[in-house]
Amino acid sequence: MKRIGQLDDVMVCCKSERQSPHAASIHILDDLSLLNVFNLYRPAIFDRADDDDVRIFGGRVWDRERWWYKLTHVCRRWRHLILGSPSFLGLCLVCTWGTPVADMLAHSPPLPIVIEYIDTNRDITAEEEESIIVALQQRDRVRRIRLRMAAPSLQKLVLAIDGEYPVLEYLILGPPVEDTCTALMLPETLQAPHLCHLLLRGFVLPMGSRLLTNATDLVMLALTVGPPSTYFRPNSLLHWLSFMPQLETLLIVFLFPVPNHEVERQLMHSPIMAAHVTLLNLRWCVFRGVSAYIEAVVSQMTAPRLEKLGIQFFKQLTFSVPPLLQFMDNTENLTRFDSVKFKFSVDKVHVEVYPSPPDEVKKYAFSIYVDSWHLDWQVFSMAQIFNSASQIFSAVEHLTLEYEEHSWSSREHDEVDRTEWRNLLRSFSKVKTLRVQDGLVKELSRCLRLDNEGPPLELLPELQELRYSGSGNSTGDAFTSFIDARQIAGRPVTLVRPNPRSVTLVPRSSRPDFSESSDVMKVSSETGVVLDT
């Protein structure tokens, strides 16, 4: 914004320089220098500070691409320089709310076209629909399309996106996230050979879609499955991915649970036939669905350079994740972790796993999320998953357990069988620091109490420090028996209870949460994709 303000000052100075003999003239700059100034003035669609949600949805608002309109009115020289260097300056025409598209196209140079209509709080008029269709018909010039509006209006406009769009780079289509009932159709003739960013929400995708099989330059793919009729099988997804060697970001999100037994039945009658897919450039991957579907996909996929993996399971009783673990084991970055944070909340449990050595900006490398109602179910689910993966997490040194009070749930569900807690903790044999939030102090102290159920070093044998918060006197001696037993065994543990008035036990981090609500899991209001916040 600072550089924009500075150039605005220059524009004012340029206009008034004849009125003051002391004003510096920008006309002393040669054409090349002036063009470089204009190029620096161009606002970025993407910024390093943008979160993943902004990037997935195609960056900041595209009407910022109208930055050059004002400059061309300063003087004839500026207008000739700008319009004479459209490629260098990335010039384009923006079609958005209130744009007289037909007039603009009739009286403007044949520049690339950007189409953006994303305000779901307003009704699109017949005139605006006509304008969008006029813009979409300029197939050889349309570079980016981003439409987010009510499903009936969106479907009418999408039907106009047919044929080949030779320069289209961004295609982002979807109704509001709350509209999950309408299945949308893409024209079968749609092709975009140079597409690099594709986000579709609630669209039926035929197996032979030329949009997906011809998109060999695709870098980002996000598919959100809304109504059941938009479901696609693992075979179809693997087939499409085999045509995307440049892919860096992949998000596959189901908004409804296909039962595990249904996916297993499909796989029994139609086994995976697609060839094994290797995505050498994939860096970030998110799957949301049932475990059978996710396992079927990752069992036939390799991403050796993957840096971040997010998994979200719907409610289910049992978990078997060997293919997922094998998928992680075949990567360079998801085999050694430094710290793990569990957050148990009202209807979900969410785990973030951080790399070793720790990432400078504290971003997780692996995140797993399970829909489940009660604490006992949540611990049982996590014990299954992490027991299977104990070898991967054997080097973890820092473990955090957070808890959001289940104010409405019954106490029998909030008290977990200590065996399940022990099964979960056995996955972290190298932990040196354990942090326990207030609501779990009683649970963990009961779990760690010996009661002749095992030697003092059976759980967390490398533990050196136990930090916990407590809101009452009842927590004062919660871990006494455990601490005493470890002292006797010659492996003392330091017990730390920070002053709640001066120290926050588990500070709210600046790192993103893989979340669906405003606090823990977020389903993006723009994309419907489960994303980091």
Would you list the DSSP string of 130-172? HHHHHHHT-TTTEEEEEEE--HHHHHHHHTT--SB-TT--EEE
Q: Of 205, 85, 88, 96, which Cα lies nearest the Cα of 144?
A: 96
The pair of structure tokens assigned to 302 is 């390799």
Residue 249 neighbours by CB under 8 Å, 6+ apart: 56, 219, 220, 221, 222, 282, 283, 284, 285
Question: Are 441 and 476 in contact, with CB atoms under 8 Å apart?
Answer: no
Q: Kindly report the backbone phi and psi dihedral angles of residue 185, in degrees, each rounded to the nearest multiple of 5, phi listed first.
A: -120, 135
9 C-beta neighbours (distance < 10 Å), count: 10
Instruction: Supply the DSSP symbol for 296.
Output: H
Q: Of 297, 271, 270, 273, which Cα lies nearest the Cα of 285?
A: 297
Token look-up 């006797």 returns 488
Which bin fits 58, alpha (ψ -120 to 50), beta or left (φ > 0)?
A: left
Amino acid, res. 532: D
Instruction: Supply the DSSP symbol for 221.
Output: E
Residue 317 neighbours by CB under 8 Å, 6+ apart: none
Q: Of 298, 235, 303, which Cα lies nearest the Cα of 263?
A: 235
Q: Kindly report the backbone phi and psi dihedral angles of residue 87, in degrees, each rounded to the nearest multiple of 5, phi listed first.
A: -70, -45
Summarize the chain as % helix, strand, coil (round to 5).
Answer: 35, 20, 50
Residues 45, 65: Cα–Cα separation, whole Å:
8
How far is C-alpha 214 from the chain's CA centre? 25
Residues 245, 98: Cα–Cα separation, whole Å:
39
Which pLDDT score is estimated for 168? 96
3-class secondary-structure state, position 59: coil
Instruction: Supply the DSSP symbol for 5.
Output: H
Per-residue pLDDT 10s for the chain (533 aa) are: 444 444 554 454 454 444 555 555 677 888 899 999 999 988 888 776 566 778 888 888 898 899 999 999 888 999 999 999 999 999 999 999 989 999 999 999 999 999 999 876 778 889 999 999 999 999 999 999 999 998 888 999 999 999 999 999 999 999 887 777 788 998 888 999 999 999 999 999 877 788 999 989 999 999 998 888 888 888 889 999 999 999 999 999 998 877 666 777 776 666 666 679 999 999 999 999 888 888 889 999 999 999 999 999 888 777 778 888 899 999 998 888 999 999 998 888 999 999 876 655 568 899 999 888 888 888 888 888 888 777 788 889 999 999 876 544 444 455 678 888 888 998 898 999 999 987 888 888 888 876 655 566 788 899 999 998 866 555 557 788 888 888 888 889 998 886 655 443 333 333 333 333 322 223 333 333 333 32
